């Protein structure tokens, strides 16, 4: 492992320790049953059967019924594929058999009620509209109408019509699974909006993401979206919403560290630091750009070392939240110089 990766790993671990209390508070936002659903969905999406075995046992212990758990794992095939879903269902079958052998009698729970006679495409279109709060259309569905039909008729018509699991719980599991995967930021953001429309709060969303997200090294990231308090002190230097969470508790160490979270599309102004700065990405997808150079795409584990007096900006991708650690170098003499905002044209050119 390179020195840079070891450095990134060290600070991720440092952040984990510093956010234990915050993480405990965040977990209290979700019930024990909901937290276990997040873990079940996460490990299913990642294909980690060892961890899933533990999560399934914990979930059944916390009150999940067998049929609720089957329903979650079955639905997830639509988001992480048949292989992961089938492996997870096989793991559940083994867990239940092992528990029965130990004399544990898990509640079976309700099965879905009888389906309506209405065609799936009709029911699915209605369900999709209710889930999202408005009819769903777009150029992609015009380009590939078959996928639009499959989504409406099968996912929303067949699966989301199965009423032994409510839509809020289905979205909780879906968000967790997508957050545990890479390259699906657009779909994750869409389901965050759908989840909120169906009763999940911002704090619950943040808790789901904090539990589900994992970084390059397999260590849970600390980034939840949003993390910290709204960044009102520096709002004038940011286009869009951002959140700030100072992390260093002992100022005598001389290493100020803060977690900065950017909403999708948010970035800070061009600026420079007389003493330099180090950025470590810990959640989502973002960009860093120096004046006159090509932008760098950043994902958890990526590190940028910014020399003194170099003009630059950093922020979130258009379709993803983004969190990074900002480490102030030479803090006793380091001063920021804030410059002009990054124009929409420059931003769009940088992130395309």
Residue ranges of domains in the chain: 24-212, 229-351
Q: In the prediction, which pLDDT does 62 show?
A: 93
Mean pLDDT of the chain: 86
Predicted pLDDT at 225: 53
Rounded to the nearest 5°, which phi and psi values hold at 320? -150, 140
pLDDT of 321 reads: 85
Note the pLDDT of residue 228.
64
The CA angle 170-176-180, to the nearest 5 degrees, is 145
Class at the top of the CATH hierarchy for domain 24-212: mainly alpha
Give the helix/strand (H/E) hosting 209.
Answer: helix 202-212
pLDDT given for residue 226 in this prediction: 54
pTM over 0.85: no
Report the sign of the C-alpha dihedral through residues 104, 208, 184, 150, in that order: positive
How is domain 229-351 classified at the CATH fold level? Answer: Jelly Rolls (2.60.120)
Length of the chain in residues, anyone? 352
What pLDDT sits at residue 52? 95
pLDDT given at position 22? 39
CATH topology match: 24-212 vs 229-351:
no
DSSP string for residues in 263-307: -TT-EEPSEEETT-EEEEEEEE-EEEEETTS--EEE-TT-EEEE-
Under DSSP, the state recorded for 199 is T
Q: pLDDT for 225-236, tens place per residue?
A: 555 678 888 999
Q: How far apart are CA 228 and CA 175, in angstroms?
A: 21
Residues of the chain with pLDDT under 70: 1-28, 213-228, 248-252
Q: What value does the CA radius of gyration of the chain take, rounded to a whole number of Å?
A: 22
pLDDT at 56: 97
The whole-number pLDDT of residue 21 equals: 36
């Amino acid at each position: 492992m390179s020195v840079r990766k070891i450095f990134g790993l060290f600070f991720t671990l440092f952040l984990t320790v510093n956010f234990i209390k915050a993480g405990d508070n965040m977990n209290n936002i979700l019930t024990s049953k909901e937290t276990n659903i997040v873990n079940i969905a996460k490990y299913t999406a990642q294909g980690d059967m060892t961890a899933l075995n533990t999560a399934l046992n914990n979930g059944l212990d916390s009150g999940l019924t067998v049929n609720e758990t089957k329903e979650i794992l079955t639905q997830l095939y639509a988001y992480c594929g048949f292989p992961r879903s089938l492996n997870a269902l096989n793991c559940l079958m083994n867990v239940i058999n092992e528990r029965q052998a130990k004399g544990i009698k898990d509640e079976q729970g309700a099965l879905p009620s009888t389906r309506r006679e209405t065609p799936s495409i009709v029911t699915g279109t209605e369900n999709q509209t209710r889930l999202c709060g408005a009819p769903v259309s777009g150029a992609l569905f015009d380009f590939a109408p078959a996928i639009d039909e499959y989504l409406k008729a099968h996912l929303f018509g067949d699966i989301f019509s199965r009423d032994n699991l409510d839509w809020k719980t289905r979205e909780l599991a879906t968000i967790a699974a997508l957050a545990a995967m890479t390259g699906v930021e657009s779909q994750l953001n869409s389901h965050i909006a759908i989840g909120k429309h169906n009763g999940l709060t911002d704090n619950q969303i943040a808790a789901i993401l904090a539990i589900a997200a994992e970084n390059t090294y397999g260590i849970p990231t600390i980034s939840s979206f949003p993390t910290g308090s709204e960044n009102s002190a520096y709002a004038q230097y940011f286009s869009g919403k951002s959140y700030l969470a100072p992390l260093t508790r002992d100022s005598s160490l001389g290493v100020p560290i803060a977690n900065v979270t950017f909403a999708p599309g948010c970035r800070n102004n061009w600026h420079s630091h007389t003493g330099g700065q180090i950025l470590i990405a810990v959640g989502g997808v973002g960009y860093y750009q120096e004046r006159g150079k090509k932008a760098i795409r950043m994902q958890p584990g990526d590190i940028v070392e910014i020399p003194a007096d170099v003009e630059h900006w950093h922020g979130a991708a258009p379709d993803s939240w983004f969190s990074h650690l900002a480490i102030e170098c030479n803090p006793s003499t380091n001063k920021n110089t804030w410059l002009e905002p990054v124009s929409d044209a420059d931003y769009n050119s940088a992130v395309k």
